[in-house]
Amino acid sequence: MRNHNTDEQKVVSQLTALVDFESQVREVAIDQCPEAHLATNGKRLDIVHRGIAFQGAVLRPLIHQIGGRIWPDVDKFEDIADRWQTRFHQDSRRLESDIANVFSRYDLKIRYVEDGKSNLVYGIVSPQFVEVNQLDFRSRFLQEICNNTGLDARTERVSTRFGNIIEYFHFDSPGFQIGMEYGLVYARNTGYDAYKVDWRRYVLVCTNGLKEWTSKDQAKWHHNHALDLTEFLSDIAKEGVGHQQLLEDRIEIARSTALDRDTASELINRMSLADATKQRLFARTKDESRAVGRNEWALSQALTYMGTHDKHISFQTRRQFTEVGTDILERSLKGVLQGNAQTGKDGFYGMVLPKSLRYH
């Protein structure tokens, strides 16, 4: 049985360490045009204001915070990053001038940490920024959960990703076949992070995992109090219940869709798997079919089972099994086969190859 007290102690300890660290963060208003100097490799930015240099790593937060103001008509980070890289390689001096001008045109402050003789940029903020103590936010969050929602306030587990602390809670909504966890992502006081929810889904009857889901209208709580915390929690509850109901509907559709032999064979032939792995998938599909009938829900279950429980394959392959099984549930087997074959960041195809290819 999971020890919820231990998990709660862990998250409180991590948040306490974060609060203690951020108590050392200082802030300076940039009240005149600074100098901006990029390293020759483009990976470091020095901002010099009144003779004091602030060093920032040229990573997503800094590119997004500054680049978004250089090109205010561009919304997506990927497009901003492309413009940033193009300008750096074509005319780095112009990019430095653009960066300096951002601080002239906008009322901004640099949040920084002293590290020996260096001042490391922690974030860039506007006057609307409101610093939030993460422990205080957690306390109010839990109080709101208990008073105004039916959400479960017990800590299920704690995780960290990209430097963010995430506390997971069970989303208790009886009567559904899909279970969900919601993870509260605690925002750092950088001016870039926002409190938001990280959803995890699994099939209750067998604990098969499903791939991550992010709602299109994801609820976020920014450091400017634009959204009331009660409204933020209400949005979370609506998101979760609405998505669970959508998946319930998809399960019923998958249950009522017979597993066509030719279509299933096409899927197997296009999967980049060893024969031994395919045989285990065949066997698992038969097991699931005996339980729920020979339908697309059985195939989806077999795939997500392999992704969650098969220890003979790599982590990457298990993740791909989970993705394909979830896609069949959400889009249908025909939808998966007719869609474009997915490619990873390395440029290689995923588990399901294009129609023109077969795995040998």
Q: What is the pLDDT along the chain (360 residues), one digit of tens a residue?
A: 456 578 889 999 999 999 999 999 999 999 999 999 999 999 999 999 999 999 999 999 999 999 999 999 998 999 999 999 999 999 999 999 999 999 999 999 999 999 988 999 999 999 888 888 999 888 888 887 777 666 677 788 888 877 889 888 876 656 666 666 778 888 899 988 887 776 665 554 455 555 455 544 555 656 555 556 677 777 777 776 677 677 788 888 988 999 988 998 899 888 888 899 999 998 999 998 998 899 998 898 889 888 888 888 898 888 888 888 888 888 899 998 887 766 655 556 778 888 766 544
Instruction: Give CA–CA dist 171/245, Å, rounded.
Output: 13
Position 159 scores a pLDDT of: 83
Contact (CB, 8 A) for 123 and 194: no
Instruction: Give CA–CA dist 141/154, Å, rounded.
Output: 12
Number of domains forming the structure of the chain: 3
| Residue 20: inside a domain | no
For the beta sheet containing 52-57, the strands, ordered from the edge strand earlier in sequence to the opposite edge, are 26-29, 109-115, 118-125, 52-57, 44-49, 35-38
Measured N-to-C along each axis, helices 296-309 and 229-255 cross at an angle, to the nearest 10 degrees, of 120
Position 152 scores a pLDDT of: 72
Range of the structural domain that residue 291 is part of = 258-338
Distance of CA 257 to the CA centre of its chain: 32
Instruction: Give CA–CA dist 1/268, Å, rounded.
Output: 38
| Residue 114: inside a domain | no
- 275 and 228 in a single domain? The answer is no
Contact (CB, 8 A) for 37 and 93: no
pTM for this one? Answer: 0.66
- 293 and 275 in a single domain? The answer is yes
- 163 and 240 in a single domain? The answer is yes
Residue after which a domain boundary falls, among 73, 107, 141: 107
- 167 and 250 in a single domain? The answer is yes
For the record, the structure tokens of 323 come out as 């993705």
- 308 and 237 in a single domain? The answer is no
| Residue 302: inside a domain | yes
| Residue 86: inside a domain | yes
Position 147 scores a pLDDT of: 76
For the record, the structure tokens of 223 come out as 């450091």
- 321 and 250 in a single domain? The answer is no
Distance of CA 233 to the CA centre of its chain: 19
Distance of CA 129 to the CA centre of its chain: 23
Instruction: Give CA–CA dist 325/294, Å, rounded.
Output: 15
| Residue 26: inside a domain | no
Rg of the chain on CA atoms, in Å: 24
- 9 and 151 in a single domain? The answer is yes
| Residue 325: inside a domain | yes
- 180 and 318 in a single domain? The answer is no
- 151 and 242 in a single domain? The answer is yes
Position 205 scores a pLDDT of: 47
For 348: left if phi > 0, alpha if psi spans -120 to 50, otherwise beta; the answer is beta
- 145 and 97 in a single domain? The answer is no
